[in-house]
């Protein structure tokens, strides 16, 4: 692999990807630090094989600073919040569709032809009736975030055909692990830290979703980049394991020593507008590339809780 660019490389998943890629090649990161943090990549700043460009994927000048000699791009930068996309669809569109399109155009003009995109298996299929859901399933998002991810995938398909690009859309499950400050486990930790006697769970607790530990997702990204061919290939990237939200609540309470916390469900079917309550991603295609999971989800949650306690303190 030649020099690579990771957009959003100071974020949760992007920074773990940088940790893996830097072992094999030169890495540039382009990040505007809107939700990412310099601390996530601070340990690479003195490495001559690493370059950090603070800037936006929407700025031609910033992208030009980041792409000299780059031959492939991992596009992780995004507005990552489903709920934000529901309350402010236009800003989400500007960031996740227009921003990504600008980046894609700058890449085309610079003859950078390989792109691995962080799409979302948890949202592009919507309430799929096919379970586990394979990649051929019709895209039917029920959130604006999922619509934006789907739209950009369509452009990767047309760019691959028109301009000979090689593109992979990683339809990621719910990714957990250190450096994440979003998602259900983080939400439960925060609530228990505020009040270790009770835990409010959004929805009826029956929501059951596909999860994956972050380093397993990163291994999949690197593997898929190595196998990329001309065309657009969507690939579900998840562990194949699912967990019910009520079970996650129990694991988190146990793991944080809040065994007596009262678990209270708000009761609705969806946790929030746009929430896909059942996700089950078929990972046969990913496995056919030789990928296997190395960390079970329950173990992954335990590792993540260790990091949360170390970083933000115990739940008393």
Ligand X SMILES: NC(=O)c1ccc[n+]([C@@H]2O[C@H](COP(=O)([O-])OP(=O)(O)OC[C@H]3O[C@@H](n4cnc5c(N)ncnc54)[C@H](O)[C@@H]3O)[C@@H](O)[C@H]2O)c1
Other Cβ atoms less than 10 A from the Cβ of 230: the count is: 13
Q: How far apart are CA 29 and CA 52, in angstroms?
A: 5
Other Cβ atoms less than 10 A from the Cβ of 296: the count is: 14
| Residue number with CB closer to ligand X (13 or 73) | 13
Identified catalytic residue from 145, 159, 211, 304: 145
| Residue number with CB closer to ligand X (116 or 258) | 116
Among 4, 6, 12, 104, binds ligand X (CB under 6 A): 12
CB 53 within 8 A of CB 30: yes
Per CB under 6 A, the segment of 44-52, 54-62, 85-93, 227-235 that binds ligand X is: 54-62
Q: Does 133 bind ligand X (CB under 6 A)?
A: no
Indicate if 155 belongs to the active site.
no
Q: How far apart are CA 159 and CA 152, in angstroms?
A: 10
| H-run or E-run covering 114 | strand 114-120
Per CB under 6 A, the segment of 18-26, 33-41, 271-279, 294-302 that binds ligand X is: 33-41
Q: Does 56 bind ligand X (CB under 6 A)?
A: yes
Q: Does 77 bind ligand X (CB under 6 A)?
A: yes
Per CB under 6 A, the segment of 117-125, 243-251, 257-265, 282-290 that binds ligand X is: 117-125
Of 280, 279, 123, 270, nearest to 204 (Cα)? 270
Helix boundaries (H) for 195-282: 214-226, 245-255
Q: How far apart are CA 93 and CA 95, in angstroms?
A: 5
Q: How far is the CB of 229 from ligand X (least distance, A)?
A: 23
Positions marked active-site = 145
- The residues binding ligand X (CB under 6 A) are 7-8, 10-14, 30-36, 56-58, 76-78, 80, 95, 99, 118, 120, 122, 172, 174-175, 183
């Amino acid at each position: 692999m030649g020099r690579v660019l990771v957009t959003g490389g100071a974020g949760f998943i992007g920074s773990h990807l940088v940790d893996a890629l830097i072992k094999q090649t030169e890495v540039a990161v382009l990040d505007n630090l809107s939700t990412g943090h310099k601390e996530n990549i601070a340990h690479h700043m003195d490495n001559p094989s690493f370059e950090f460009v603070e800037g936006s994927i929407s700025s031609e000048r910033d992208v030009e600073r980041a792409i000299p000699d780059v031959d492939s791009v991992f596009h992780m930068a995004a507005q990552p919040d489903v709920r934000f996309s529901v309350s402010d669809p236009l800003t989400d569109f500007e960031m996740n569709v227009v921003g990504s399109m600008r980046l894609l155009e700058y890449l085309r003009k610079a003859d950078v032809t390989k792109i691995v995109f962080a799409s979302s298996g948890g949202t592009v299929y919507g309430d799929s009736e096919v379970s586990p859901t394979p990649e051929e399933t019709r895209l039917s998002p029920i959130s604006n975030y999922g619509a934006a991810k789907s739209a950009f995938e369509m452009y990767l398909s047309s760019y691959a055909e028109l301009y000979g690009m090689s593109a992979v859309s990683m339809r990621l499950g719910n990714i957990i692990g250190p450096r994440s400050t979003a998602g259900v486990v983080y939400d439960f930790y925060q609530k228990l830290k505020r009040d270790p006697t009770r835990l409010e769970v959004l929805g009826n607790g029956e929501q059951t979703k596909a999860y994956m530990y972050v380093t397993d997702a990163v291994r999949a990204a690197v593997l898929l980049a190595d196998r990329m061919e001309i065309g657009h290939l969507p690939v579900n990237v998840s562990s194949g394991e699912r967990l019910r939200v009520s079970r996650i609540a129990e694991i988190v309470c146990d793991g944080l020593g809040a065994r007596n916390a009262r678990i209270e469900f708000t009761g609705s079917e969806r946790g929030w507008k746009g929430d896909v309550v059942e996700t089950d991603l078929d990972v046969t295609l990913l496995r056919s590339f030789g990928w296997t999971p190395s960390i079970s989800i329950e173990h992954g949650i335990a590792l993540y809780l260790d990091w949360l306690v170390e970083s933000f303190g115990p739940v008393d």
